[in-house]
Structure 1
Amino acid sequence: MKTLSLQRFRLAADFVHTHARLVDQRLFEYYFTNGSSEDVMEALVPYQNEDGGVGHGIEPDIRMKASSPIATSVALQYAKAVNAKGSHPFIQKAMNYLSSVYAESGFWPLKLKAMNNEPHAEWWHFTEPATTFEINPGAEILGYFHSYPQILEQDLFPIWHEQVFTYLEDAEKLDMHESLAYMRLSQMMPSPGKNQLIDMIKPHIRKVVTTDPSKWGAYCAKPLWFAPNPESPFFPMFEESVIKNLDYEIATQDKNGAWSPSWEWKQYGDVWESQARKDWQGELTVKTLRYLASYNRIEGLNSSSEGAV
């Protein structure tokens, strides 16, 4: 069993403090140096627009300044990671934005036409509008409405629950991003629906996770994505693979201390190299350190990370 030496941890920390975005620096401090939740939330503010939604590259592969549901969900992942209260102005504005998008569209579209106007990864290129409820990001966003209840014009939860459960019942196989959306929903959904949802998504997650270490160098769903800490309900499904995944992450740390994305853009190469790739390195480095801390894989460091994705 490999462990990350304290020297290599410090090298990663130095990379974060030198190259990562402020929000990822603050998240690192929250988990490893007694930083505050409020500092993380303050670092999110520049990404929020007047409409309450989030943009400005918080999702590094989408450089669009305007708001989108997917970028707003990414920002709320940070808020959940630091246990921010629903009364926080940032969260209130973000949830109001998500409510307004649903009121206008009847769901939360994954891709927006405006994404094409600014640099973006080719998989974010808009071609035609969606017309029905999209599980990614809809299932995850439903989770935020459970975590941060809003005053809605009508009780939409029965409608939303029917949509996510019906889709799950009819789906032969979820893709990795749909599976992640369901996993995040399961983290926020109250009982008894929580346990029902976990049981229903387990077979799908078993299919979508790549357990072969030889394939982890490519873009795929790694075991740690679904078992970020030993308390995850999905950890028992992948215990052996998680141990190998932790060893793999330790072995593949870059010489500069970072962990780098396994993907790259085929367009806007200058923006990828100068901005997006560096943003991803910062985010992935903090996330990987949280995984390692959750499983006590950093020498001389007590586990201080909750390991939430």
Structure 2
Amino acid sequence: MKRLSQEQFERAVNFIFTNARPLDRRVLEYHFFNGEKSAVLNELMKYQNKDGGVGKGIEPDIQSVESSPIATSVAMQYAREVQASWQHPFVKKAMKYFTDTYNYYHNWPLKMPHMNNFPHADWWHFNEHESQFEVNPGAEIVGYYHTYPQIIPEDLLPTFHDHVFQHLENRSTPIEFHEALCYLRLAEEIPDPGKTMIVDVLREWARDIVTLDPSKWGGYCAKPLWLAPTPNSPLYNVLEDVISLNLDYEIEHQQEDGSWVPFWEWGQYRDVWENKAKKEWQGALTVKTLYTLKNYERLEVTST
């Protein structure tokens, strides 16, 4: 079993403090150096727009400054990571944006027209709005209404649940990777019996969703650790064998500069990808990888 050495850890930390976005630096400090959640939330608020939604490239593959449900859901992942209170202005405004967006579209569109006006990854190009409920990011967003019930429009919750569970029950093939991540984030927040229903389906399909072959992890795929980032993850037991391999793989694939690099790239706006988005992803992924290694006790570190 491999562990990340003290020297490797220090190289990663140095990379983050030198190259990562302030938001990701604050997250590193929160998890490893007794940083304050308020520092993370202060950085998060810089990405929030007047409508309460989030944009401004918080999701590096979407450089649009305007708000979108997907960018706002990414921001809420950060907020949940530091256990932000429902009373925090960022949370209140973001949740209002989710409600306003749903009332307008009757779902949370994955792609928005304004994404085309800014540099973006090929797969984020907008063509037309989906009229149906989209699990990504819809299921995840429903989870945030359970996290923050103090600001939930109660008359909408049964409708949200109908969307989520009808989609789950009507599936005849394994859930797509990103949809699985959204269902997992919902499962973290929703009480039983909904939690158990979701987890049971995901456990049944987990090994079909995940890319089990380590030789394919260098390309874009569903790495096991993305679906089970801690030993307490509901899918850990069904993926335990490949998770161990994935932990070894990540330790082996740390870059010389201390970072971990995205296993995807844009086919357009190459200058923005190389000079901005890729670097932003390196910072975020390096923090994420260090925290995952910490969760699995794969760090030989004495200073955390």
* TM-score (norm. length: structure 2): 0.97
1:190: how far off?
A: 1.4
Residue in 2 that maps onto 1:295: 296
Residue in 2 that maps onto 1:307: none
Matched, 1:61 2:56: no
Listed as ranges, the gaps of 5+ residues in structure 1 are 305-309
SS at match of 1:40: helix
Does the CA-based 8 Å contact 1:49-1:66 persist in structure 2? yes
Residue in 1 that maps onto 2:268: 267
Listed as ranges, the gaps of 5+ residues in structure 2 are none
Q: What one-letter code is carried by the residue in structure 1 that aligns with 2:7?
A: Q
SS at match of 1:259: coil
Does the CA-based 8 Å contact 1:54-1:75 persist in structure 2? yes
Deviations 1:116-158 (A, max 9, x none): 0010001000011111111100000000011012545552111
Does the CA-based 8 Å contact 1:179-1:204 persist in structure 2? no
Q: What one-letter code is carried by the residue in structure 1 that aligns with 2:91?
A: I
Matches within 5 A, 1:40-79: 40-79=40-79
Does the CA-based 8 Å contact 2:92-2:151 persist in structure 1? no
**Whole-angstrom distance in 2 between the partners of 1:228 and 1:168:** 23
**Whole-angstrom distance in 1 between the partners of 2:100 and 2:219:** 37
**Whole-angstrom distance in 1 between the partners of 2:301 and 2:28:** 17
Q: What one-letter code is carried by the residue in structure 2 that aligns with 1:108?
A: W
C-alpha change, 1:127 and 1:150, in structure 2 (3 Å) is farther
**Whole-angstrom distance in 1 between the partners of 2:134 and 2:95:** 18
C-alpha change, 1:151 and 1:37, in structure 2 (3 Å) is closer
1:64: how far off?
A: 0.2
1:206: how far off?
A: 2.4
**Whole-angstrom distance in 2 between the partners of 1:253 and 1:28:** 17
SS at match of 2:188: helix
Higher alpha-carbon deviation: 293-302 or 50-59? 293-302
1:200: how far off?
A: 2.0
Does the CA-based 8 Å contact 1:147-1:188 persist in structure 2? yes
* TM-score (norm. length: structure 1): 0.96
Residue in 2 that maps onto 1:224: 225
Deviations 1:277-304 (A, max 9, x none): 00000000000001100011110348x7
Residue in 1 that maps onto 2:192: 191
Matches within 5 A, 1:134-153: 134-151=134-151
Does the CA-based 8 Å contact 1:27-1:286 persist in structure 2? yes
**Whole-angstrom distance in 2 between the partners of 1:95 and 1:205:** 30
Residue in 1 that maps onto 2:4: 4
**Number of aligned residues:** 303
Residue in 2 that maps onto 1:103: 103
**Whole-angstrom distance in 2 between the partners of 1:43 and 1:124:** 25
**Whole-angstrom distance in 2 between the partners of 1:204 and 1:170:** 14
Does the CA-based 8 Å contact 2:145-2:151 persist in structure 1? no
Does the CA-based 8 Å contact 2:211-2:224 persist in structure 1? yes
Residue in 2 that maps onto 1:16: 16
